[in-house]
Amino acid sequence: MEKWRRLDGQRIELPIKQMVEETIIRETKAGHKLKVCIGTDSQVRGEVIEFATVIVFLREKKGGFMFISNYKKTQRMTLKERMIMEVAKSVEIAYALCDLLDKYKVELEVHADINTDPSFKSNKALKEAMGYILGMGFVFKAKPNAFASSSCADKVV
């Protein structure tokens, strides 16, 4: 089971789906219109690849906050494989939460830490990642608009 936490390090003890639902209810009662953005980033550190997946809650014109899950893999993979693995993790979380977000009419975006500029190496994975995310029926954002993965997850990986 994945371990989730808040940015301040406080562990989330509830199952993530239940925590997201309670958060949506609380934020909606407080008068906030929410959007959820999900993204994953990774860093290679020697033989280990460290991943961070984030669920970012944006309050319309009122800032936001996020839930974070960190995990590690010890397998060798190409940059393209790593990018696709990041996207797969974000899609997995988005898929687990999408019925809940639909129920409460919360907009969802899946962010990929992949550059749309062909001069960047990560661009090799753009077509596959985009096809995967859009094929699952999710709204897709890539760099420079993919802040959940390229800014939020990047800071906590």
pLDDT of 108 reads 97
What fold, for 4-156?
Nucleotidyltransferase; domain 5 (3.30.420)
Q: How confident is the model at residue 140 (pLDDT cuts 50, 70, 90)?
A: very high
Q: Where are the domains of the chain?
A: 4-156
**Above 80 in pLDDT, residue 30?**
yes
**Above 90 in pLDDT, residue 122?**
no
pLDDT of 18 reads 97
Q: How confident is the model at residue 154 (pLDDT cuts 50, 70, 90)?
A: confident
Beta-bridge mates of residue 50: 43, 72
**Above 90 in pLDDT, residue 8?**
yes
CA dihedral defined by 45, 96, 134, 125, rounded to 10 degrees? Answer: 10
**Above 80 in pLDDT, residue 1?**
no
CA-based nearest residue to 139, from 106, 103, 116:
106
Q: What is the mean pLDDT of residues 132-140?
A: 94
